Each structure stands twice: as C-alpha cells, then as structure tokens.
Amino acid sequence: MTSRTHCPRPSKPVSPTSGGGESRDSTEKRGNMKMRFSRLFSVALCVVLSAVAGIAQASGGTVHMKQINEAIARVRSDKTVDARTEAAEHLASLTQKIPGKEATEALVADIASLLDSPDDSVRYWVARALGNLGLAAKSAAPKLEGMLPKADCINGTITSASGIRYALIKMGIKPPPPPKCGRIAG
C-alpha cells in the first residue's frame, strides 16, 4: 500500500509576483486558456497544412498522369525508332513515381499494348515501365511470359528479355531460365 502525500492549499491567494496582484486560480485559468488556444491553433494549422498538401499531391498526380499519357502517345506515334525508344524510356522513368495502388487497370492495359511495338528497344523500356508498377501490372504477365522465349533468342547486349524478366520479378513471378537457342537479330 502506497501512501499519498497531501499538500495543503494556501488559505490566502498566492501572487506570482511580490506585489500580491492576481490569485493563483486566475493565473491557472489564464494558463489553461493559453494552452487551449495553443492546442486549437496547432490543430487548425495541421488541418490547413494537410489540405494544402492534399491539393498539391492531387494536382501533382494529375500532371504526372498527363505526362504518362503524353509519353504513351509518343511511343505510339513518333516517327523514328530512336524517338519512340526515348519516349518509352521516359515512360519507364515516370512509372517509377506511381504508387502501385494508383496504377489503374486501364493504365496497365494501355502500357501493355505498347509491347506490340516492332522495336525491341521500345519493348525493353515498356516492360520496365510495367515492372515499375509491380503487382498492380500483374495482368500484363501472360503477355510478357509469351514474349519471353522469342526475346531470349534476340542477339544483343541488352534486349527486351532483360526488361521482361525485370517486370516479371517485380510482379512476383519467377521467370523461366533462358532457353538454349541460336540468337536472332533484334
């Protein structure tokens, strides 16, 4: 059993200054009011900052999706292989910034459709873009798995096969070992 010490209150008001002005109760009330105001101000500030951050993030997300859509359009329509490859590389860098939960099925399908490009360099970067979306892009896995045997046999130091393997791993799928084949020109 613990004993509690009781501190008696003074019978006369105690002044914080030697002049004997305010009572202890009025000093406590003023301190409590300051604390309440401080808490209220802190909460209001947090609410305002959260709203501002949310607006900035939402507008940033819109701008980011606009850039992704522009990159997809460039991969489809640019005239040269180099320009399409550059656009696909830019798309891959943009998808690194998308949280998986924000990658819609429509976006995944739109990006996966770019795998039909005749250019292996474009397919490499498109596969990397899908891999950057991780599990959210798993619906593209069958297409990637179907492309892998042919991509594995393309001759080159960097081919779409490495991008496809990267994507499959990021989607949680273990890719098959590379086949033994004669290399073909990409």
Is 175 within the bounds of a domain?
A: yes
95 vs 59: CA distance, rounded Å:
17
Beta bridge partners of 185: 155
Is 34 within the bounds of a domain?
A: no
Q: What is the pLDDT of residues 42-92, one digit of tens each?
A: 555 444 444 444 433 443 456 688 999 999 999 999 999 999 999 999 999
Residues 117, 123 contacting (CB under 8 angstroms): yes
42 vs 27: CA distance, rounded Å:
22
> Which domain does 97 fall in, by range?
45-185
pLDDT at 98: 86
Residues 136, 103 contacting (CB under 8 angstroms): yes
Residues 83, 74 contacting (CB under 8 angstroms): yes
Count of beta carbons in the 10 Å neighbourhood of residue 100: 13
Is 163 within the bounds of a domain?
A: yes
Residue 99 has pLDDT above 70, yes or no: yes
Residues whose CB is less than 8 angstroms from the CB of residue 86 and which lie 6 or more positions away in sequence, other chains included: 78
Q: For 99, phi and psi rounded to 5 degrees?
A: -65, 140
pLDDT at 51: 46
Is 178 within the bounds of a domain?
A: yes
**Residue 122's CATH number:** 1.25.10
pTM: 0.66
